[in-house]
Structure 1
Amino acid sequence: MTSSENRPALARRALLAGSVGAVAALPAAPAHAAPLTPPRGRHPSNWPEPASYGLADTRRDLWPRRDNSFVLPLELRPRDRELGRVWMRDTYVNCFVVDGSPLYVATGTTRVPGLDAAAPWNDGIFLWVSRSLRGPWKLADTEGIRPDAERGKVWSPEFVGENRPGRTVVAEWQEYWHDEEFGKRGQAWAPEVHYVRGRWYIVACTGDHSRKVGSFLLVSEGGVEGPYRLAEGNLSEPFGEPVDGGPDFIEPGAYYHIDGSIYSEGDDAWLVLHNDLYAKFRDDMEDIVTTTDLPAFQQTPYSPEPYLEGAYVFKHGGKYYLLHAAWNRASIGPDGSTRHAYDPPGDGRVQYQYDAVVAVSDRFEGPYSHRWTAGVGAGHNNFFADHKGRLWATFFRNPAFGYWADAARSADAAVPGVVRVEWTGPRGNRLYVQRRDRGHALEE
């Protein structure tokens, strides 16, 4: 969620120089988000809003398709070779400029061999890096940090043995544990990589099977590959305070705010928490300013408001865009037709697609406009600009329920995907998955 505005253009000579050579060893040099260049020519139009606020737009134009998207060719780990690709949820990709050259970083929620999901445990956070969105994508070079560990793994509960007085890598509440119901438990979900005030950070959350479930921050003591340690504010607990929520098997008082992310602008940075809260970071980025009574974004909720995930803020064209992941549920309408809406669960409502819904505001805190469907099946994603200033979004195709859980399609679910995004200009102020026949070639 790094701001993408007011960045210098990337010189062609620097770009060509940066595209040559290995990308595995990455410096801890100053970096910033990639420059953002507004599109030329006439902007596409906004689509009319559905007749009733809260209805979902299911038109194929808003799907990631072959003509507007692709799956990143990430370097395979030994565990990935049987599937032939990386199994990933909550795909996150961003582009930074390091020493004048573009640096792309990819991460997400992955699973361990033998499990069909990232639960009840996984083995931490992996990073991939590239000088181009098309690749080659290589696992981050962590061999100099942990010669005996799997390459690309930058944090894991397995690293608890690295804790030292004054330096905590894995807190007690993040460690693996066991019970009779699930056996081994504990995992890291939905990681994101950010560069703030001259330092690399990873914000992630512990999953539902952890001792405490919530968002935490890792601080790099080197480059993007680490080594990472835990921020001071998370030594005893996740960010914020315990809240109601989560599955029944989560112990009372152990559920905090999940899906943490970072938005930075100038010298300021904020933690964004699912699904409507934010908090200012301290200047040293070791904790948020306050953990109680966190402010909420001023939103235009649906009625009734469903459960939302994956809050993310992106700035473009002087406007702030607040993203959420929402389940598009299908049901039978009063006239007998199929109704698609962002409804809470209920009788006759079937999960169809895990969509990206977006709202826009003149200010970070809001008030935000009515939400609209920005991408069908593209929920729990982020927007970013590539090194040429073109806009993209990530997607992963949720394998748990709905369209991508169908046996005929599940082999193509849980992917590290990216899709082109179009802006409807300063009058429309909307971001959509690139719709058909817009005259934009899908190129690198």
Structure 2
Amino acid sequence: MNRSEHGIHVGRRTLLAGVAGSVGAAALSTAAGQTAQAEAASTQPYPPNWPDPSPYGLADTRKDLWPRRDNSFILPLELRPRDKALGRVWMRDTYVNCFVVNGRPLYVATGTTRVPGLTAAAPWNDGLFVWTARNLRGPWKLADTTGIRPGAERGKVWSPEFVDENRPGRTVVAPWQTHWHDDQFGKRGNVWAPELHYFRDKWYLVACMGDHSRKVGSFMLVSEGGVEGPYRLVRGNLDKPFGDSFIGGPSFIEPGAYHHIDGSLYSEDDEAWLVLHNHVYAKFRDDMEDIVPTTNLPSFQQTPYNPEPYLEGAYVFKYGGKYYLLHAAWDRRSTNPDGSTRNAYDPPGPDRTQDQYDAVVAVADRFEGPYSRRWTAGVGAGHNNFFEDHHGGLWATFFRNPAFGYWADPARIADAAVPGLVRLEWTGPAGNRLYARRRN
């Protein structure tokens, strides 16, 4: 349901707009024409696009774009033993989606989690967990993995710890994905930003080995059973992550070990593409075991900021016949020469403070672009995905980044790293924007 073309649903707002249109036409011929126009505008079937901050690259900080009590909620995921003390699941890079499986909607949730005793998902964590539900509000249960690994922690579908499950012709954990040790960090090896996709009646899990791994980059697993697995590594990742290596990441990453991160899967009809990092993509082979080989990965045709900052968490969502390209961008706060506050998607620099980890979005008629200028779709909602529920409602995930900025403040950190959902609104076939649902 994340990839289909969707029709326009006729609802109460559309009916009200039709009534208002007929009344407004008569009123416009009177001396009260301006008032009638304002009333008609207030009952249009779609909310309006907001004017963009100027110049291009400024962040839209309006409170209406925040996840709030009236437009969002935290998923009530089933707790694991490690979650009992906190009373909820600690999660970054929250991913939620809805798929039709055997004629019924199935909701899935996953994300980056941490091990007991650590305050972050680094320098190591112990794998990927999956939750499922038949309704967005729950109950959300851990995937039943007990038939695959009796006695193991329920819901863990993949981990570097599963290296002992490798068999000739079937690799679950590649050598570059295993836990390892060094003198600087001790135990190392973390996995982050998982996404679960249902394509051609199979489950695919795309994720990324993180900065503390032997090789850093995106990989894909395929289930040999249901959503709970068992999962194995696709053949294209036996020796390395997808794509070619390049210099990137923190200084402690060995040269040649860094590949494109935050991989995502986009599918349409019977074809699928891998979306990587912040600007490139690749088509999957028909057997889904690897990407189609190419000399250089193709790039999305985007409208970059000037200068372009570091972006991550790329994701493509199709709705209303348009393609939406999502990125996570840090809104950095600084001071203008006149003393006023500047909030912008600037690169790091002197006197620039990371504030909010926003979701910025651009729209195009084609998957590869060209994409429009970006706009702020959700404040503090970066590194997310968009999806449609089985009633046609639109949603975005969020998690409140605990590493830096607003949610890292000691007064707020207890409410950070959550499996959050915020309602979206579409501005229609003329506006073609998706925003966190605004108050008006």
TM-score (norm 1): 0.91
Identify the residue that residue 369 of structure 1 maps to in structure 2.
372
Checking the alignment, whether the CA contact within 8 Å between 1:38 and 1:389 is kept in structure 2 is no
Identify the residue that residue 29 of structure 1 maps to in structure 2.
none
- Within the alignment, does 1:66 sit opposite 2:69 as a pair? yes
- Within the alignment, does 1:234 sit opposite 2:243 as a pair? no
Checking the alignment, whether the CA contact within 8 Å between 2:196 and 2:205 is kept in structure 1 is yes
Identify the residue that residue 80 of structure 1 maps to in structure 2.
83
Identify the residue that residue 220 of structure 2 maps to in structure 1.
217
| Aligned-residue offset at 1:100 | 1.9
Deviations 1:146-187 (A, max 9, x none): 002100000000000000000000000000000000000001
**What is the root-mean-square deviation of aligned Cα atoms in Å?**
1.2
The 2-side partners of 1:2 and 1:160 are apart by 32
The 2-side partners of 1:356 and 1:6 are apart by 23
SS of 2:147 mapped into structure 1: coil
Deviations 1:384-430 (A, max 9, x none): 00010110000000000000000000000000000000000000000
| Alignment counterpart, residue 246 of structure 1, candidates 239, 246, 249 | 249
The 2-side partners of 1:97 and 1:117 are apart by 34
Whichever residue aligns with residue 269 of structure 1, its letter is A
The 1-side partners of 2:437 and 2:103 are apart by 29
| Aligned-residue offset at 1:37 | 5.0
| Alignment counterpart, residue 175 of structure 2, candidates 149, 172, 196 | 172
* Structure in which a larger fraction of residues adopt helix: 2
Checking the alignment, whether the CA contact within 8 Å between 2:6 and 2:320 is kept in structure 1 is no
| Aligned-residue offset at 1:292 | 3.5
The 1-side partners of 2:295 and 2:86 are apart by 44
Whichever residue aligns with residue 169 of structure 2, its letter is G
Whichever residue aligns with residue 117 of structure 2, its letter is G
Identify the residue that residue 22 of structure 1 maps to in structure 2.
none
Deviations 1:210-254 (A, max 9, x none): 000000000000001100000000000000000221000000100
SS of 2:148 mapped into structure 1: coil
Identify the residue that residue 282 of structure 2 maps to in structure 1.
279
Identify the residue that residue 109 of structure 2 maps to in structure 1.
106
| Aligned-residue offset at 1:196 | 1.2
- Within the alignment, does 1:420 sit opposite 2:414 as a pair? no
Checking the alignment, whether the CA contact within 8 Å between 1:125 and 1:191 is kept in structure 2 is yes
Identify the residue that residue 3 of structure 2 maps to in structure 1.
3
Identify the residue that residue 126 of structure 1 maps to in structure 2.
129
Identify the residue that residue 163 of structure 2 maps to in structure 1.
160
Checking the alignment, whether the CA contact within 8 Å between 1:4 and 1:385 is kept in structure 2 is no
| Alignment counterpart, residue 92 of structure 1, candidates 92, 95, 98 | 95
Identify the residue that residue 297 of structure 1 maps to in structure 2.
300
- Number of aligned residue pairs: give it: 409
| Aligned-residue offset at 1:198 | 1.7
- Within the alignment, does 1:382 sit opposite 2:366 as a pair? no
| Aligned-residue offset at 1:38 | 7.3
- Within the alignment, does 1:43 sit opposite 2:46 as a pair? yes
Checking the alignment, whether the CA contact within 8 Å between 1:241 and 1:292 is kept in structure 2 is no
SS of 1:191 mapped into structure 2: strand
SS of 2:118 mapped into structure 1: coil
SS of 1:135 mapped into structure 2: coil
The 1-side partners of 2:10 and 2:103 are apart by 21
Identify the residue that residue 19 of structure 1 maps to in structure 2.
none
Distance 1:197 1:172, change over 3 A: same
Mark the runs of 5 or more structure 1 residues left unpaired by the alignment: 8-35, 438-444
| Aligned-residue offset at 1:2 | 3.8
Deviations 1:101-133 (A, max 9, x none): 211000000000000000000000000000011
Checking the alignment, whether the CA contact within 8 Å between 2:246 and 2:255 is kept in structure 1 is no
The 1-side partners of 2:9 and 2:110 are apart by 25
Whichever residue aligns with residue 125 of structure 1, its letter is L
Checking the alignment, whether the CA contact within 8 Å between 2:112 and 2:191 is kept in structure 1 is yes
The 1-side partners of 2:61 and 2:54 are apart by 14
The 1-side partners of 2:330 and 2:352 are apart by 11
Whichever residue aligns with residue 263 of structure 1, its letter is Y
The 1-side partners of 2:140 and 2:10 are apart by 27
Max Rg structure: 2
Whichever residue aligns with residue 347 of structure 1, its letter is P
SS of 2:372 mapped into structure 1: coil
**Superposition pairs for residues 390-409 of structure 1, below 5 Å?**
390-409=393-412
The 2-side partners of 1:49 and 1:38 are apart by 29
The 2-side partners of 1:37 and 1:92 are apart by 26
Mark the runs of 5 or more structure 2 residues left unpaired by the alignment: 15-44
- Within the alignment, does 1:205 sit opposite 2:201 as a pair? no
Identity in percent = 79
The 2-side partners of 1:37 and 1:134 are apart by 22
Identify the residue that residue 146 of structure 1 maps to in structure 2.
149
The 1-side partners of 2:107 and 2:239 are apart by 32
Identify the residue that residue 337 of structure 1 maps to in structure 2.
340
| Aligned-residue offset at 1:52 | 0.3
Identify the residue that residue 185 of structure 2 maps to in structure 1.
182
The 2-side partners of 1:120 and 1:146 are apart by 26
| Aligned-residue offset at 1:321 | 0.2
Whichever residue aligns with residue 125 of structure 2, its letter is N
| Aligned-residue offset at 1:272 | 0.2
Whichever residue aligns with residue 320 of structure 1, its letter is Y
The 2-side partners of 1:378 and 1:53 are apart by 20
Checking the alignment, whether the CA contact within 8 Å between 1:239 and 1:291 is kept in structure 2 is no
**Superposition pairs for residues 299-314 of structure 1, below 5 Å?**
299-314=302-317
Whichever residue aligns with residue 5 of structure 2, its letter is E
The 2-side partners of 1:263 and 1:77 are apart by 30
TM-score (norm 2): 0.92
Whichever residue aligns with residue 228 of structure 1, its letter is Y
